[in-house]
Chains A and B, each alone.
Chain A
Amino acid sequence: MKSIINYFKEILFGLKSLVKGMAVTGHYITHPKEIITQQYPENRESLKMFERFRGEVVLLHDENNEHKCTGCTACEVACPNGSIEIIPKRVEIDGRKVKAIDQFVYHLQMCTMCGLCIPACPTDAIVMANTFEHAVFDRSKLTKILNKPGSKIMDGIK
Protein backbone atom coordinates (compact mmCIF):
# COMPACT_ATOMS: atom_id res chain seq x y z
CA MET A 1 0.00 0.00 0.00
CA LYS A 2 2.78 2.35 0.94
CA SER A 3 4.50 1.79 -2.37
CA ILE A 4 1.34 2.69 -4.24
CA ILE A 5 1.03 5.93 -2.31
CA ASN A 6 4.68 6.64 -3.00
CA TYR A 7 4.10 5.96 -6.69
CA PHE A 8 1.40 8.60 -6.94
CA LYS A 9 3.37 10.95 -4.70
CA GLU A 10 6.29 10.66 -7.09
CA ILE A 11 4.07 11.48 -10.06
CA LEU A 12 2.60 14.52 -8.33
CA PHE A 13 6.04 15.67 -7.25
CA GLY A 14 7.31 15.22 -10.79
CA LEU A 15 4.42 17.18 -12.26
CA LYS A 16 4.93 19.90 -9.66
CA SER A 17 8.60 20.25 -10.53
CA LEU A 18 7.80 20.35 -14.24
CA VAL A 19 5.24 23.10 -13.71
CA LYS A 20 7.78 24.99 -11.62
CA GLY A 21 10.27 24.84 -14.47
CA MET A 22 7.66 25.96 -16.95
CA ALA A 23 6.76 28.87 -14.68
CA VAL A 24 10.36 30.08 -14.87
CA THR A 25 10.49 30.00 -18.67
CA GLY A 26 6.92 31.31 -18.79
CA HIS A 27 8.09 34.31 -16.80
CA TYR A 28 10.86 34.89 -19.32
CA ILE A 29 8.60 34.79 -22.37
CA THR A 30 6.04 37.12 -20.82
CA HIS A 31 8.69 39.67 -19.81
CA PRO A 32 10.44 40.64 -23.05
CA LYS A 33 11.94 43.68 -21.33
CA GLU A 34 14.27 41.39 -19.37
CA ILE A 35 15.99 40.19 -22.54
CA ILE A 36 19.73 40.50 -22.07
CA THR A 37 20.82 40.35 -25.72
CA GLN A 38 22.54 43.53 -26.92
CA GLN A 39 22.11 44.58 -30.54
CA TYR A 40 25.76 45.53 -30.62
CA PRO A 41 26.70 47.60 -33.66
CA GLU A 42 23.34 49.38 -33.64
CA ASN A 43 23.42 50.36 -29.99
CA ARG A 44 27.08 51.30 -29.94
CA GLU A 45 26.27 54.80 -28.72
CA SER A 46 24.09 53.74 -25.83
CA LEU A 47 25.86 50.51 -24.88
CA LYS A 48 27.08 50.62 -21.30
CA MET A 49 29.60 47.98 -20.31
CA PHE A 50 29.44 46.40 -16.89
CA GLU A 51 31.60 47.96 -14.22
CA ARG A 52 33.49 44.76 -13.43
CA PHE A 53 34.16 43.88 -17.06
CA ARG A 54 37.93 43.63 -17.60
CA GLY A 55 38.87 45.09 -20.95
CA GLU A 56 42.39 46.43 -20.67
CA VAL A 57 44.86 47.85 -18.16
CA VAL A 58 45.07 51.62 -18.06
CA LEU A 59 47.34 53.92 -16.08
CA LEU A 60 45.24 56.65 -14.54
CA HIS A 61 46.23 60.24 -15.24
CA ASP A 62 44.71 63.29 -13.66
CA GLU A 63 44.11 66.67 -15.31
CA ASN A 64 47.71 67.80 -14.66
CA ASN A 65 48.99 64.80 -16.64
CA GLU A 66 50.20 63.16 -13.46
CA HIS A 67 49.98 59.48 -12.55
CA LYS A 68 50.61 57.51 -9.40
CA CYS A 69 53.04 54.93 -10.75
CA THR A 70 56.30 54.78 -8.82
CA GLY A 71 57.85 52.15 -11.04
CA CYS A 72 58.03 49.58 -8.25
CA THR A 73 57.41 46.74 -10.79
CA ALA A 74 54.99 44.98 -8.40
CA CYS A 75 52.55 44.59 -11.30
CA GLU A 76 55.25 43.26 -13.57
CA VAL A 77 56.06 40.60 -10.95
CA ALA A 78 52.39 39.81 -10.40
CA CYS A 79 51.63 39.35 -14.10
CA PRO A 80 51.59 35.61 -14.88
CA ASN A 81 52.37 35.96 -18.57
CA GLY A 82 54.63 38.97 -18.82
CA SER A 83 52.23 41.41 -20.37
CA ILE A 84 53.60 44.31 -18.34
CA GLU A 85 57.10 45.62 -18.80
CA ILE A 86 58.33 48.59 -16.85
CA ILE A 87 61.31 50.51 -18.12
CA PRO A 88 62.60 52.62 -15.22
CA LYS A 89 64.64 55.76 -15.19
CA ARG A 90 66.19 58.04 -12.59
CA VAL A 91 64.70 61.47 -12.11
CA GLU A 92 65.77 64.29 -9.84
CA ILE A 93 63.15 65.44 -7.37
CA ASP A 94 64.10 68.02 -4.69
CA GLY A 95 67.73 67.54 -5.40
CA ARG A 96 67.88 63.76 -5.01
CA LYS A 97 67.63 61.02 -7.57
CA VAL A 98 64.45 58.95 -7.43
CA LYS A 99 63.42 55.90 -9.39
CA ALA A 100 60.54 56.58 -11.77
CA ILE A 101 59.05 55.06 -14.92
CA ASP A 102 60.31 55.88 -18.32
CA GLN A 103 57.83 53.68 -20.13
CA PHE A 104 54.99 51.55 -18.82
CA VAL A 105 54.78 48.99 -21.64
CA TYR A 106 51.63 46.91 -21.80
CA HIS A 107 51.30 44.01 -24.26
CA LEU A 108 47.57 43.67 -24.83
CA GLN A 109 48.05 40.67 -27.10
CA MET A 110 49.49 38.65 -24.21
CA CYS A 111 47.13 39.85 -21.51
CA THR A 112 44.54 37.33 -20.29
CA MET A 113 42.61 39.98 -18.35
CA CYS A 114 43.18 38.09 -15.11
CA GLY A 115 43.41 41.36 -13.23
CA LEU A 116 46.20 40.25 -10.87
CA CYS A 117 48.18 43.44 -11.49
CA ILE A 118 45.43 45.65 -10.09
CA PRO A 119 45.54 44.47 -6.43
CA ALA A 120 49.33 44.15 -6.67
CA CYS A 121 49.76 47.87 -7.22
CA PRO A 122 50.61 49.56 -3.89
CA THR A 123 49.59 53.02 -5.06
CA ASP A 124 46.44 52.11 -7.04
CA ALA A 125 47.92 53.60 -10.17
CA ILE A 126 46.45 51.14 -12.63
CA VAL A 127 42.85 50.00 -13.15
CA MET A 128 41.01 47.68 -15.52
CA ALA A 129 39.02 49.72 -18.00
CA ASN A 130 35.85 48.24 -19.47
CA THR A 131 36.61 49.07 -23.08
CA PHE A 132 36.29 46.15 -25.46
CA GLU A 133 36.81 47.28 -29.05
CA HIS A 134 40.41 46.14 -29.26
CA ALA A 135 40.49 44.88 -32.85
CA VAL A 136 43.37 46.37 -34.87
CA PHE A 137 44.87 45.57 -38.26
CA ASP A 138 48.47 45.58 -37.07
CA ARG A 139 49.86 43.52 -34.22
CA SER A 140 52.30 46.20 -33.20
CA LYS A 141 49.41 48.44 -32.23
CA LEU A 142 48.61 46.07 -29.39
CA THR A 143 51.82 46.97 -27.58
CA LYS A 144 50.88 50.10 -25.73
CA ILE A 145 52.80 52.59 -23.68
CA LEU A 146 50.49 53.49 -20.88
CA ASN A 147 52.13 56.59 -19.45
CA LYS A 148 51.26 59.62 -21.53
CA PRO A 149 54.14 61.59 -22.99
CA GLY A 150 55.42 64.22 -20.59
CA SER A 151 53.56 62.81 -17.64
CA LYS A 152 55.14 62.65 -14.23
CA ILE A 153 54.45 61.17 -10.88
CA MET A 154 52.06 62.88 -8.51
CA ASP A 155 53.44 64.68 -5.52
CA GLY A 156 53.60 62.69 -2.35
CA ILE A 157 53.39 59.26 -3.91
CA LYS A 158 56.27 57.04 -2.87
Chain B
Amino acid sequence: MNWLYDFTYLTQSIHESLSRNFEQGTVVLIEMILVGLAFMILFALLGLVLVYAERKVSAFFQQRLGPMRVGKWGTAQTLADVIKLLMKEPLINKNADKFLFNLAPYIIMITAFMTMAALPFAKGLQALDFDIGLLYISAVSSLGVVGILLAGWSSDNKYSLIGALRSGAQVISYELSVGLSLLTIVILTGSLQLSVIVESQANGWWIFKGHIPAVIAFIIFLIASTAETNRGPFDLAEAESELTAGFHTEYSGMKFAFFFLAEFANMFIVSALGATVFLGGWMPFHIGGWEVFNNIMDYIPPIFWFFGKVSFIIFLMMWFRWTFPRLRIDQLLTLEWKYLLPINLMNILVMAFLVLMGWYF
Protein backbone atom coordinates (compact mmCIF):
# COMPACT_ATOMS: atom_id res chain seq x y z
CA MET B 1 0.00 0.00 0.00
CA ASN B 2 3.03 2.24 0.18
CA TRP B 3 2.63 3.37 -3.40
CA LEU B 4 -0.68 5.00 -2.51
CA TYR B 5 1.16 7.50 -0.33
CA ASP B 6 4.04 8.29 -2.65
CA PHE B 7 3.77 7.71 -6.38
CA THR B 8 7.41 8.53 -7.00
CA TYR B 9 8.52 4.90 -6.61
CA LEU B 10 5.76 3.61 -8.84
CA THR B 11 6.51 6.01 -11.68
CA GLN B 12 10.24 5.50 -11.18
CA SER B 13 9.96 1.72 -11.38
CA ILE B 14 7.83 1.93 -14.54
CA HIS B 15 10.43 4.21 -16.06
CA GLU B 16 13.31 1.91 -15.11
CA SER B 17 11.66 -1.24 -16.39
CA LEU B 18 10.92 0.51 -19.66
CA SER B 19 14.49 1.81 -19.91
CA ARG B 20 15.90 -1.70 -19.52
CA ASN B 21 13.89 -2.99 -22.47
CA PHE B 22 13.77 -0.07 -24.93
CA GLU B 23 15.94 2.74 -26.23
CA GLN B 24 15.70 6.27 -24.88
CA GLY B 25 13.42 7.63 -27.63
CA THR B 26 11.03 4.69 -27.49
CA VAL B 27 10.80 4.97 -23.71
CA VAL B 28 9.72 8.62 -23.96
CA LEU B 29 7.18 7.72 -26.63
CA ILE B 30 5.71 4.86 -24.58
CA GLU B 31 5.58 7.01 -21.48
CA MET B 32 3.79 9.77 -23.37
CA ILE B 33 1.24 7.28 -24.66
CA LEU B 34 0.76 5.86 -21.17
CA VAL B 35 0.23 9.31 -19.66
CA GLY B 36 -2.13 10.27 -22.46
CA LEU B 37 -4.14 7.09 -21.94
CA ALA B 38 -4.28 7.74 -18.21
CA PHE B 39 -5.63 11.23 -18.82
CA MET B 40 -8.17 9.97 -21.33
CA ILE B 41 -9.43 7.41 -18.83
CA LEU B 42 -9.55 10.10 -16.15
CA PHE B 43 -11.49 12.34 -18.57
CA ALA B 44 -14.03 9.65 -19.34
CA LEU B 45 -14.47 8.84 -15.65
CA LEU B 46 -14.77 12.51 -14.79
CA GLY B 47 -17.43 12.97 -17.44
CA LEU B 48 -19.43 10.00 -16.20
CA VAL B 49 -19.16 10.87 -12.53
CA LEU B 50 -19.53 14.65 -12.76
CA VAL B 51 -22.55 14.62 -15.07
CA TYR B 52 -24.29 12.22 -12.71
CA ALA B 53 -23.20 14.25 -9.69
CA GLU B 54 -24.37 17.50 -11.26
CA ARG B 55 -27.78 16.09 -12.07
CA LYS B 56 -28.20 14.55 -8.65
CA VAL B 57 -26.93 17.57 -6.74
CA SER B 58 -29.05 19.97 -8.76
CA ALA B 59 -32.06 17.76 -8.18
CA PHE B 60 -31.55 17.73 -4.43
CA PHE B 61 -31.07 21.49 -4.41
CA GLN B 62 -34.48 21.81 -6.05
CA GLN B 63 -36.28 19.21 -3.93
CA ARG B 64 -36.31 16.72 -6.78
CA LEU B 65 -34.89 13.22 -7.04
CA GLY B 66 -33.02 13.48 -10.32
CA PRO B 67 -32.37 10.44 -12.52
CA MET B 68 -33.78 7.37 -10.81
CA ARG B 69 -34.71 4.89 -13.52
CA VAL B 70 -31.52 3.60 -15.17
CA GLY B 71 -29.74 1.41 -12.68
CA LYS B 72 -29.95 1.70 -8.92
CA TRP B 73 -30.53 5.38 -8.04
CA GLY B 74 -30.04 6.20 -11.73
CA THR B 75 -26.31 5.51 -11.58
CA ALA B 76 -26.17 4.19 -15.15
CA GLN B 77 -27.95 7.26 -16.53
CA THR B 78 -24.82 8.94 -17.87
CA LEU B 79 -23.71 5.70 -19.52
CA ALA B 80 -27.06 5.50 -21.27
CA ASP B 81 -26.69 9.15 -22.31
CA VAL B 82 -23.26 8.46 -23.77
CA ILE B 83 -24.62 5.57 -25.82
CA LYS B 84 -27.46 7.78 -27.03
CA LEU B 85 -25.05 10.54 -28.03
CA LEU B 86 -22.77 8.08 -29.84
CA MET B 87 -25.66 6.88 -31.98
CA LYS B 88 -26.88 10.36 -32.90
CA GLU B 89 -26.39 11.77 -36.35
CA PRO B 90 -23.69 14.46 -36.54
CA LEU B 91 -25.58 17.25 -38.29
CA ILE B 92 -23.81 20.17 -39.93
CA ASN B 93 -25.51 23.38 -41.00
CA LYS B 94 -25.71 23.94 -44.74
CA ASN B 95 -23.85 27.25 -44.61
CA ALA B 96 -21.55 26.34 -41.74
CA ASP B 97 -17.80 26.67 -42.08
CA LYS B 98 -17.24 22.93 -42.04
CA PHE B 99 -13.54 22.89 -41.17
CA LEU B 100 -13.84 25.27 -38.22
CA PHE B 101 -17.11 23.68 -37.17
CA ASN B 102 -15.40 20.32 -36.82
CA LEU B 103 -12.26 21.79 -35.32
CA ALA B 104 -13.90 23.75 -32.48
CA PRO B 105 -14.79 20.86 -30.14
CA TYR B 106 -11.29 19.43 -30.48
CA ILE B 107 -9.68 22.75 -29.57
CA ILE B 108 -11.72 22.84 -26.39
CA MET B 109 -10.85 19.25 -25.55
CA ILE B 110 -7.15 19.73 -26.29
CA THR B 111 -7.10 22.79 -24.04
CA ALA B 112 -8.58 20.78 -21.22
CA PHE B 113 -6.00 18.01 -21.76
CA MET B 114 -3.10 20.44 -21.83
CA THR B 115 -4.21 22.07 -18.61
CA MET B 116 -4.68 18.73 -16.92
CA ALA B 117 -1.05 17.80 -17.64
CA ALA B 118 0.38 20.27 -15.16
CA LEU B 119 -1.87 19.43 -12.23
CA PRO B 120 -0.30 17.62 -9.25
CA PHE B 121 -2.72 14.82 -8.36
CA ALA B 122 -0.68 13.30 -5.56
CA LYS B 123 2.88 13.07 -4.38
CA GLY B 124 4.90 12.24 -7.48
CA LEU B 125 1.80 11.97 -9.65
CA GLN B 126 2.17 14.89 -12.02
CA ALA B 127 2.74 14.63 -15.74
CA LEU B 128 4.70 17.85 -16.16
CA ASP B 129 6.21 19.80 -13.29
CA PHE B 130 6.95 23.16 -14.90
CA ASP B 131 8.67 25.82 -12.87
CA ILE B 132 6.00 28.16 -14.25
CA GLY B 133 3.14 25.68 -13.77
CA LEU B 134 0.62 28.21 -12.49
CA LEU B 135 1.29 30.63 -15.34
CA TYR B 136 1.11 27.76 -17.81
CA ILE B 137 -2.28 26.62 -16.52
CA SER B 138 -3.82 30.07 -16.52
CA ALA B 139 -2.40 30.75 -19.98
CA VAL B 140 -3.56 27.51 -21.56
CA SER B 141 -6.99 27.45 -19.92
CA SER B 142 -7.78 30.79 -21.54
CA LEU B 143 -7.24 29.19 -24.96
CA GLY B 144 -10.52 27.38 -24.50
CA VAL B 145 -12.38 30.54 -25.45
CA VAL B 146 -10.92 30.22 -28.94
CA GLY B 147 -12.82 26.97 -29.33
CA ILE B 148 -16.02 28.61 -28.13
CA LEU B 149 -15.57 31.58 -30.47
CA LEU B 150 -14.88 29.27 -33.43
CA ALA B 151 -17.90 27.15 -32.61
CA GLY B 152 -20.13 30.19 -32.46
CA TRP B 153 -18.70 31.77 -35.59
CA SER B 154 -18.70 28.70 -37.80
CA SER B 155 -22.20 27.54 -36.86
CA ASP B 156 -23.87 30.21 -39.03
CA ASN B 157 -26.47 30.81 -36.38
CA LYS B 158 -27.27 34.09 -34.70
CA TYR B 159 -27.74 32.53 -31.29
CA SER B 160 -24.42 30.74 -31.51
CA LEU B 161 -22.65 33.92 -32.50
CA ILE B 162 -24.17 35.97 -29.69
CA GLY B 163 -23.32 33.24 -27.21
CA ALA B 164 -19.74 32.99 -28.43
CA LEU B 165 -19.17 36.75 -28.32
CA ARG B 166 -20.62 36.97 -24.83
CA SER B 167 -18.34 34.16 -23.80
CA GLY B 168 -15.37 35.99 -25.28
CA ALA B 169 -16.11 39.17 -23.33
CA GLN B 170 -16.70 37.17 -20.19
CA VAL B 171 -13.67 34.90 -20.25
CA ILE B 172 -11.25 37.67 -21.13
CA SER B 173 -12.59 39.82 -18.27
CA TYR B 174 -12.61 37.15 -15.63
CA GLU B 175 -9.21 35.80 -16.65
CA LEU B 176 -7.80 38.88 -14.89
CA SER B 177 -9.46 38.12 -11.60
CA VAL B 178 -8.44 34.48 -11.67
CA GLY B 179 -4.83 35.42 -12.38
CA LEU B 180 -4.71 38.14 -9.74
CA SER B 181 -6.31 36.02 -7.04
CA LEU B 182 -3.78 33.27 -7.73
CA LEU B 183 -1.03 35.89 -7.66
CA THR B 184 -2.06 36.79 -4.12
CA ILE B 185 -0.93 33.34 -3.02
CA VAL B 186 2.11 33.40 -5.27
CA ILE B 187 3.34 36.36 -3.21
CA LEU B 188 3.36 34.02 -0.23
CA THR B 189 4.91 31.02 -1.93
CA GLY B 190 7.43 32.94 -4.01
CA SER B 191 7.19 30.31 -6.72
CA LEU B 192 4.95 29.47 -9.66
CA GLN B 193 5.88 25.80 -9.59
CA LEU B 194 2.86 23.81 -8.47
CA SER B 195 4.84 21.14 -6.62
CA VAL B 196 6.64 23.85 -4.65
CA ILE B 197 3.31 25.54 -3.88
CA VAL B 198 1.98 22.26 -2.50
CA GLU B 199 5.14 21.57 -0.48
CA SER B 200 4.98 25.07 1.01
CA GLN B 201 1.65 24.15 2.60
CA ALA B 202 3.07 21.27 4.65
CA ASN B 203 2.54 23.24 7.88
CA GLY B 204 -0.92 24.58 7.03
CA TRP B 205 -2.91 25.50 3.95
CA TRP B 206 -2.51 28.98 2.54
CA ILE B 207 -6.15 29.85 3.13
CA PHE B 208 -5.44 29.51 6.87
CA LYS B 209 -1.87 30.74 6.89
CA GLY B 210 -2.66 33.79 4.77
CA HIS B 211 -5.86 34.50 6.77
CA ILE B 212 -7.97 37.49 5.66
CA PRO B 213 -6.44 38.37 2.26
CA ALA B 214 -6.19 34.67 1.37
CA VAL B 215 -9.87 34.14 2.19
CA ILE B 216 -10.84 37.16 0.08
CA ALA B 217 -8.66 35.85 -2.74
CA PHE B 218 -10.30 32.44 -2.43
CA ILE B 219 -13.79 33.92 -2.69
CA ILE B 220 -12.77 35.98 -5.71
CA PHE B 221 -11.17 32.91 -7.24
CA LEU B 222 -14.36 30.92 -6.78
CA ILE B 223 -16.50 33.62 -8.42
CA ALA B 224 -14.08 34.30 -11.27
CA SER B 225 -13.35 30.65 -12.02
CA THR B 226 -17.06 29.87 -12.13
CA ALA B 227 -17.36 32.63 -14.71
CA GLU B 228 -14.33 31.38 -16.61
CA THR B 229 -15.82 27.93 -17.04
CA ASN B 230 -19.09 29.45 -18.33
CA ARG B 231 -21.04 27.91 -15.53
CA GLY B 232 -23.42 28.74 -12.83
CA PRO B 233 -24.88 32.21 -12.72
CA PHE B 234 -22.43 33.20 -15.46
CA ASP B 235 -23.62 30.80 -18.18
CA LEU B 236 -24.45 33.61 -20.59
CA ALA B 237 -22.66 31.79 -23.37
CA GLU B 238 -25.25 29.02 -23.25
CA ALA B 239 -28.21 30.80 -21.65
CA GLU B 240 -30.66 28.12 -22.69
CA SER B 241 -33.65 30.34 -21.90
CA GLU B 242 -32.58 33.13 -24.26
CA LEU B 243 -30.11 31.64 -26.76
CA THR B 244 -31.42 28.05 -26.97
CA ALA B 245 -27.96 26.63 -26.22
CA GLY B 246 -25.59 29.44 -27.17
CA PHE B 247 -22.42 28.47 -28.93
CA HIS B 248 -23.24 24.76 -29.21
CA THR B 249 -26.77 25.17 -30.56
CA GLU B 250 -25.89 23.56 -33.88
CA TYR B 251 -23.84 20.69 -32.53
CA SER B 252 -25.18 17.20 -32.14
CA GLY B 253 -23.97 13.75 -31.32
CA MET B 254 -20.42 13.25 -30.16
CA LYS B 255 -19.29 16.78 -30.98
CA PHE B 256 -21.90 18.11 -28.61
CA ALA B 257 -20.72 15.57 -26.06
CA PHE B 258 -17.21 16.99 -26.40
CA PHE B 259 -18.44 20.45 -25.42
CA PHE B 260 -20.39 18.95 -22.59
CA LEU B 261 -17.41 16.92 -21.41
CA ALA B 262 -15.05 19.88 -21.73
CA GLU B 263 -17.32 21.96 -19.51
CA PHE B 264 -17.08 19.38 -16.75
CA ALA B 265 -13.38 18.82 -17.33
CA ASN B 266 -12.81 22.57 -17.05
CA MET B 267 -14.80 22.64 -13.87
CA PHE B 268 -12.57 19.88 -12.50
CA ILE B 269 -9.40 21.69 -13.62
CA VAL B 270 -10.42 24.99 -12.08
CA SER B 271 -11.41 23.28 -8.85
CA ALA B 272 -8.13 21.35 -8.81
CA LEU B 273 -6.22 24.58 -9.30
CA GLY B 274 -8.12 26.23 -6.48
CA ALA B 275 -7.57 23.22 -4.26
CA THR B 276 -3.85 23.17 -5.06
CA VAL B 277 -3.20 26.84 -4.47
CA PHE B 278 -5.55 27.64 -1.60
CA LEU B 279 -6.34 24.31 0.08
CA GLY B 280 -2.98 22.58 -0.13
CA GLY B 281 -3.50 20.25 -3.10
CA TRP B 282 -2.71 16.70 -2.07
CA MET B 283 -1.19 17.90 1.20
CA PRO B 284 -3.12 16.49 4.19
CA PHE B 285 -4.59 18.88 6.72
CA HIS B 286 -1.59 19.91 8.79
CA ILE B 287 -1.24 22.38 11.60
CA GLY B 288 2.29 23.60 12.17
CA GLY B 289 3.78 22.15 15.36
CA TRP B 290 1.06 19.57 16.07
CA GLU B 291 3.13 16.48 15.25
CA VAL B 292 0.66 13.79 16.45
CA PHE B 293 -2.28 15.41 14.69
CA ASN B 294 -0.25 15.74 11.49
CA ASN B 295 0.76 12.08 11.64
CA ILE B 296 -2.85 10.99 12.03
CA MET B 297 -3.80 13.11 9.03
CA ASP B 298 -0.99 11.52 7.03
CA TYR B 299 -2.72 8.12 7.24
CA ILE B 300 -5.23 9.30 4.63
CA PRO B 301 -3.45 8.97 1.26
CA PRO B 302 -2.71 12.27 -0.53
CA ILE B 303 -4.74 11.31 -3.60
CA PHE B 304 -7.88 11.09 -1.46
CA TRP B 305 -7.10 14.48 0.05
CA PHE B 306 -6.73 15.93 -3.43
CA PHE B 307 -9.97 14.51 -4.80
CA GLY B 308 -11.77 15.34 -1.58
CA LYS B 309 -10.81 18.98 -1.81
CA VAL B 310 -11.60 19.10 -5.51
CA SER B 311 -15.03 17.63 -4.96
CA PHE B 312 -15.62 20.13 -2.17
CA ILE B 313 -14.93 23.04 -4.53
CA ILE B 314 -16.97 21.39 -7.29
CA PHE B 315 -19.83 21.06 -4.82
CA LEU B 316 -19.53 24.76 -3.99
CA MET B 317 -19.66 25.63 -7.69
CA MET B 318 -22.73 23.45 -8.15
CA TRP B 319 -24.28 25.15 -5.15
CA PHE B 320 -23.71 28.53 -6.82
CA ARG B 321 -25.10 27.33 -10.07
CA TRP B 322 -28.34 25.99 -8.68
CA THR B 323 -28.97 28.88 -6.32
CA PHE B 324 -28.28 32.10 -8.15
CA PRO B 325 -30.14 33.49 -11.17
CA ARG B 326 -28.18 34.23 -14.32
CA LEU B 327 -26.55 37.66 -14.58
CA ARG B 328 -27.20 40.07 -17.40
CA ILE B 329 -24.19 40.86 -19.58
CA ASP B 330 -23.86 44.40 -18.17
CA GLN B 331 -24.15 43.12 -14.61
CA LEU B 332 -21.52 40.55 -15.43
CA LEU B 333 -19.03 43.13 -16.62
CA THR B 334 -19.92 45.51 -13.78
CA LEU B 335 -19.20 42.77 -11.27
CA GLU B 336 -15.79 42.16 -12.80
CA TRP B 337 -14.52 45.65 -13.55
CA LYS B 338 -16.14 47.62 -10.73
CA TYR B 339 -15.98 45.13 -7.90
CA LEU B 340 -13.74 42.09 -8.33
CA LEU B 341 -10.79 43.77 -10.01
CA PRO B 342 -10.37 46.77 -7.62
CA ILE B 343 -10.86 44.56 -4.58
CA ASN B 344 -8.40 42.09 -6.01
CA LEU B 345 -5.74 44.74 -6.61
CA MET B 346 -6.20 46.12 -3.08
CA ASN B 347 -6.04 42.60 -1.75
CA ILE B 348 -2.71 41.97 -3.47
CA LEU B 349 -1.37 45.17 -1.97
CA VAL B 350 -2.50 44.11 1.50
CA MET B 351 -1.02 40.67 1.01
CA ALA B 352 2.30 42.12 -0.13
CA PHE B 353 2.33 44.32 2.95
CA LEU B 354 1.58 41.35 5.19
CA VAL B 355 4.37 39.33 3.62
CA LEU B 356 6.74 42.24 3.97
CA MET B 357 5.93 42.57 7.66
CA GLY B 358 5.87 38.80 8.16
CA TRP B 359 2.30 38.91 9.51
CA TYR B 360 1.33 35.49 8.29
CA PHE B 361 1.77 32.03 9.73
Contacts and interface: CB of A to CB of B under 8 A. Distances in A.
B61 A25 contact: yes
A29 B324 contact: no
Contacts, number: 37
Nearest to B320: A22
Given A11-B339, A39-B65, A39-B68, A32 B323 contact: no
A35 B319 contact: no
Q: What bracket does the count of chain A residues touching chain B fall in?
A: 10 to 19
Interface in B32-73: 57, 59-65, 68
B325 to A, nearest CB: 9
Interface in A9-39: 11, 18, 21-22, 24-26, 28-29, 32, 34-37, 39
Most central of A28, A32, A34, A39 by chain B CB within 10 Å: A28
Most central of B57, B64, B323 by chain A CB within 10 Å: B323
Most central of A22, A25, A34, A36 by chain B CB within 10 Å: A25
Nearest to B324: A21
A34 B63 contact: yes
Contact of B319 (A11, A22, A34): A22
B319 A25 contact: yes
Q: What bracket does the count of chain B residues touching chain A fall in?
A: 10 to 19
Contacts of A32: 60
B307 to A, nearest CB: 20
Contact of B61 (A11, A29, A36, A39): A29
A28 B324 contact: no
Contacts of B339: 11
B303 to A, nearest CB: 26
B323 A35 contact: no
Nearest to B322: A25
A35 to B, nearest CB: 5
Contacts of B57: 29
Contacts of A37: 59, 63-65
Nearest to A19: B323
A22 B323 contact: yes
Contacts of B60: 28-29, 32, 35
A18 B321 CA distance: 12
A18 B233 CA distance: 12
Given A24-B323, A25-B322, A35 B61 contact: no
Contacts of B61: 25, 28-29
Nearest to A34: B63
Going nearest first, the 10 A-B pairs with the smallest beta carbon separation are A37-B65, A25-B323, A25-B61, A29-B60, A21-B323, A37-B64, A35-B63, A22-B323, A36-B63, A28-B63
Interface of B: 57, 59-65, 68, 319-320, 322-324, 339, 343
7 contacts: A21-B324, A26-B319, A28-B61, A28-B63, A29-B60, A35-B60, A39-B65
Interface of A: 11, 18, 21-22, 24-26, 28-29, 32, 34-37, 39
Given A18-B324, A21-B323, A25-B323, 20 more contacts: A11-B343, A22-B319, A22-B320, A24-B323, A25-B62, A25-B322, A28-B60, A28-B62, A28-B63, A29-B57, A29-B60, A29-B61, A32-B60, A35-B63, A35-B64, A35-B65, A37-B59, A37-B64, A39-B65, A39-B68
